[in-house]
Amino acid sequence: MSYPSQQRLVDRPGRQRRAARIMTILEDFGDLDLRQSSLLDVGASHGLITLALAPGVRFAVGVDVDRDGVAAAARDPDAGDHCAFAVASGMQLPFQDGSFDVIVCNHVYEHVPDAPRLMAEIGRVLRPGGLCYFAGGHRLQLIEPHHRLPFLSWLPRPLADAWLQAIGRGPRYEETFLMPWRLPRLFTGFSSARNVTPDVLKACSRHGLGPAWLETVFRAAMPRWLATPVASVLPTQLWLLRK
């Protein structure tokens, strides 16, 4: 399936900015020595985020079901001895239990047929005490991020399929987003799950999400009790999950 947004997967500067955001969130809200950590990027696609994360950790592995994307990642000149790629499904990871200190699951859950199984596999290969960075959208996004159409994810599946078919993007809408209040149900296998979206919102400049003046406004005008509900309606929710 081809999306209008797929060009972002090969946008190296954009992927590098995303990787920098992941690293600052792990640094600010995690307590691991990242430079001594092993990292798995689930749903790595062409590997640009994995490659950008690799210099900050002991070694990084990226997996994806896209054989062409994985092959391109393995050929990338930035790939070295500290970075590897493999063709694998996030729902059946080819690693032993507790293999990784950090796992990145960045906008992946909506693409798999069994999101709870995906998260169970992530929990299995994460070591005890390790961290999973989880970023994901939800069904109430105003603009569906893959097709860039308003309210697409709100529609019943037959109507969403019909819309994509009518504009030549069919035959069906393949993504499955959860309601925002149902996302935590994916994390029941972890010892703790922290929604860091409000904290990132109030430090948006550091995390590459806005100018410094906006961060100042958020800090001055948005108490914690207000930041949490405001953050809950943002199109992307950011979580840190500890095993």
Arithmetic mean of pLDDT, 25-33? 93
Total-model pTM: 0.90
Q: Which is nearest to 240 in space by CA: 204, 189, 187?
A: 187
Arithmetic mean of pLDDT, 96-102? 98
Domains of the chain, each with CATH number or no CATH: 4-141+177-242 (3.40.50.150)
DSSP string, 43-71: T-TTSHHHHHHGGGSSEEEEEES-HHHHH
Joined tokens for residue 66: 């896209």
User: Between residues 220 and 19, which one has the greater pLDDT?
Assistant: 19
Q: Which is nearest to 183 in space by CA: 144, 228, 114, 137?
A: 137
Residue 101 · residue 71 · CB < 8 Å: no
The pLDDT tens digits for 148-203 are 999 999 999 999 999 999 999 889 999 999 999 999 999 999 999 999 998 888 77
- CA 197 and chain centroid, separation: 13
User: Between residues 120 and 1, which one has the greater pLDDT?
Assistant: 120
The pLDDT tens digits for 52-85 are 999 999 999 999 999 999 999 999 988 888 899 9
The pLDDT, as a whole number, for residue 232 is 76
Residue 115 has pLDDT above 80, yes or no: yes
Residue 3 has pLDDT above 60, yes or no: no
Q: Which is nearest to 41 in space by CA: 13, 2, 9?
A: 9
Residue 187 · residue 119 · CB < 8 Å: yes
